[in-house]
Structure formats: structure tokens, C-alpha cells
Structure 1
Amino acid sequence: MALGRPTRRSGRAEVSFERGDRRESAILDSLAGLLTTAPLKSITIGDIAKGAGISRPSLYFYFDSKAQVFCALLARTGYHRTPGFLLCAADSEQPVAGQVQSIVRQTFRTWRENTVVLRRGFEAADDLDVARQWQRTASDLTGLLAQWIARCRATGLLTVTDETPLELAESLLWLIEKSCYRLFSRATTLSEQNRRAVVLVELGRRMLGDDPVPAGAATGDTERPTR
């Protein structure tokens, strides 16, 4: 049977959904722009609404609070959910140095592309809603890393130590994130970022209990700068 044409009502609904998506995107873009010059705590709902071209009451139709807007903006960056992390959880056959390198590379790339949002997220740790969102996504990642560490230990790729896989995963993530925050809080060159990545890969594999690897095996992010 041939499908009928969309009704006028369904057409209006589709337009409404599209308009809602555009407005949500405008709200997130507004906050992202404001964060380039001010910390989250000094930005008001009114500021965000004004930048999005809507009224304050209208903004509450899409988000309940400023923290919720920021958490949506953080989620849009894809932080803690990059392909390298998922690969790490699935592939325990690749040498540990290569896996750690992948984690560092993906984290650096995300920080490079979303420096302002991630830096402000780090600085907004006193906001309970933001802190919970950050911890929630980080917990998902550390769980995947802990599973990978456990498998690497079981196959002999990593030396078993007194620390649990979860403790090592949390420590590795903290080390990389803290280093990224300090590194991307100031102007740095790609060369400097790559050197820091090499150091983190070496520290990371030693922390996990990896045996020494030949010189040059633990390299950092060798991507060319984007124009």
C-alpha cells in the first residue's frame, strides 16, 4: 500500500523538532563562546540566553540549569569516549606501549580541539553537578581501562603488582588529564605537546608494569598541525 503524504500536523512537528535542535545548539555555542573569556561560575543563565538569541524563560525549556548546559557542552566534545579508549578496551594483543600511546594521543587531540571547554570543566570542580558529570564519564572510561589492564596481566603483558587494575586505571587517567590541563592552560607548540606525550607514554607504561621497550617505540602524537 502506498504511503500517504505527511499530515500538516506531522510537518509542523518536524519543523518544531528541527527548531528545537537549532536552539539547543545555539545555547551550547553561546556558552562555548562565553567560556573563552570568563569562568563558568561568573556566567549567568541570562548571559547564555542572550548569546543564543532567546529569552531566559525560553532557555529553561531546554535546560534546567547552567550546569546542565555545561554538561551538555562537555558531552558534545566526546571527551572520555574517544575511539582510542574503546580500542584499548577491545584489543589486549597490541603491545602495552602502543595502547598507552593511543590513549595519550586521543586525549591530547580532544584537549587540543576543545581546550576552553575542558579547561573550564577542570576549573569548575566545585560545582557539584559538573563534578558529577565529569566523574560519571571518567568512571565509564576507567572501568574499560581496568578491564584491559586485567586482561594484559592475565596474558603476561603486564607485571602483576599490589595495585588493583582499577587503581592503576584511575591513576593513569589522572596523570594524563592533569598534564593536559597544565599543558593546554598556556600557549604551547605542537612540538612541545609531542614531547610531553612521549614522557606520558613512558610514565604510563611503567606505572602499569610494562617491561622496557626499545628506544623510540613509545612515541607521542606525531600529527601535523591543522590549519
Structure 2
Amino acid sequence: MTTSRASRGRRPSRPSGDEREAAILATAERLLAERPLTEISIEDLASGAGISRPTFYFYFSGKKDVLLSLLDRVAEEADRAIVPRPPSPIADPAAFWRDVLTAFLGAFGSHRAVTAAADAARATDPEIGALWSRLMTGWVDRDAAIIEAERAAGAAADGPPARDLATALSLMVERSMTALFTGREPVLDQDDLIDTLLHVVLSAVYGPAA
């Protein structure tokens, strides 16, 4: 078999640091779909990414660090999918809140293994629990500001403090979607999930007439 002059002696390209990190994360997500984090070894992650164990530690301190990065990336994906906060009063509240709910369902639903692993770990791992809490707090703050603006514009109904209402609604959405992604009962059917959550959000924020 002949070898062209252009390819003869060419050294194979080496993956960059970003490519190696991405390979580790992709391997972790693939393995999490097959078994829990506790049954995944550093060797599994390094081998799947095509790197050595010492090289793995150049990018991550351990398996938990990998899961934290995965969860952070899924949350960023959800945030990017959410439409910018509109001025109040919102012209079409149903469409706006549906887009918000769909963004979360799309992002976390596309990475169910990560969501399930993080949900299982946050109860016993303070760092993962803290990240989850920070993410939830950010979304609560955002929704509370929207509810306050809608009330000030005369569009939303009076009720509990905006932040309390946003907290209750965010917890409802988070638990409902997590139950769907982890298969825990009771669980809403995925085909009905968005419509059901949207009905509750609109009723709570704008009143039963909404």
C-alpha cells in the first residue's frame, strides 16, 4: 500500500485541553446513563476519554468535580434557552411561562442521567447540594422579580410575597420534572407535564381567571 507524500510521516493531531475535558464529561454522562456514579471509577472515565489516569487529574479533582461541571453546564443550557425577561405587563403570559417551562424540560430532560445523578448525590454531598441550591435560588430570584413587576403593572393578582410564591412554584416545577427524569412515583405524564404546570403557574400568579 503506497503512502502519499503529504501524509507520510505526519504525526497524528493531539487533542487540546478543551477536547480532553469535553471527552471526560461526555464519557461521564454516557456512563451515568448505565450505572450510578458510585460504580464509575476514575479509570473508567480516563479510559473512555482516551487519556491516562494522571491526565484526568489535570482537569478534575475527582468524580464529584465531573458531576458538578455537568450539572453546571445543563443549568447554563436551560438559562440560554429561556427568553429574555420581557417588560411588564407581559403581552402573552401563557406563551412566556410556557417557554420558561419548556426550556427547563428540554435542557434537563436531554440530560436525564446528569439530573438523576445530581438529585441522588445532593442529599449526601454538601458541595453538590450547595450548587443545586444556588441554581434554584437564582431561578427563584428571577421569577420573584417578574411577579413583582407584573403586580406593579396591574397584570398579576395580589397574594403571598412574590418571593414566597416564586419559591413554591419553583419547587413544584423542580420536583415534578425530577420525578419524571428519575421515574419516581407519583409522576406526571410527560405529555401533560407542561400544560399542568403552566395551569398552576398562571392561576397562582394571575388569578384563577387566567
Q: CA RMSD in A?
A: 2.3
Do the aligned partners of 2:78 and 2:107 also contact (CA within 8 Å) in 1?
no
Q: Gapped runs of 5+ residues in structure 1?
A: 1-14, 187-191, 214-227
| Gap change, CA 1:46 and 1:167, over 3 Å in 2 | farther
1:174-203: CA deviations, max 9, x gaps? 1112111222334xxxxx423221111111
Provide the residue aligned with 1:129 in structure 2.
127
The alignment partner of 1:124 has SS state of helix
Tell me the matched-pair count: 191
- TM-fit CA distance, 1:55: 2.1
The alignment partner of 1:61 has SS state of helix
Give distance in 2, aligned partners of 1:82 and 1:138.
Answer: 16
Provide the residue aligned with 1:155 in structure 2.
153
Provide the residue aligned with 1:223 in structure 2.
none
Please point out which of 101, 104, 128 is paired with 2:101.
104
The alignment partner of 1:142 has SS state of helix
Give distance in 1, aligned partners of 2:54 and 2:22.
Answer: 17
The structure, 1 or 2, with the larger RCO (C-alpha pairs under 8 Å, 6+ apart) is: 1
Q: Gapped runs of 5+ residues in structure 2?
A: 1-12, 184-188
Give distance in 2, aligned partners of 1:110 and 1:117.
Answer: 11
- TM-fit CA distance, 1:80: 4.5
Q: Report runs of 4+ in structure 1 exceeding 6 Å deviation.
A: none
**Does residue 207 of the first structure (1) align with residue 201 of the second (2)?**
no
Do the aligned partners of 1:96 and 1:157 also contact (CA within 8 Å) in 2?
no
Equivalence map 1:212-227=2 (5 Å): 212-213=209-210
TM value normalised by structure 1: 0.75
Equivalence map 1:6-155=2 (5 Å): 19-77=16-74, 78-84=76-82, 86-87=83-84, 89-92=85-88, 93-125=90-122, 126-155=124-153
TM value normalised by structure 2: 0.80
Equivalent position amino acid for 1:183 in 2: L
Do the aligned partners of 2:115 and 2:181 also contact (CA within 8 Å) in 1?
no
Give distance in 2, aligned partners of 1:164 and 1:80.
Answer: 26
- TM-fit CA distance, 1:150: 0.7
The alignment partner of 1:21 has SS state of helix
1:7-27: CA deviations, max 9, x gaps? xxxxxxxx98x6101110111
1:35-56: CA deviations, max 9, x gaps? 0112223323332222212222
- TM-fit CA distance, 1:32: 0.6
Give distance in 1, aligned partners of 2:40 and 2:204.
Answer: 39
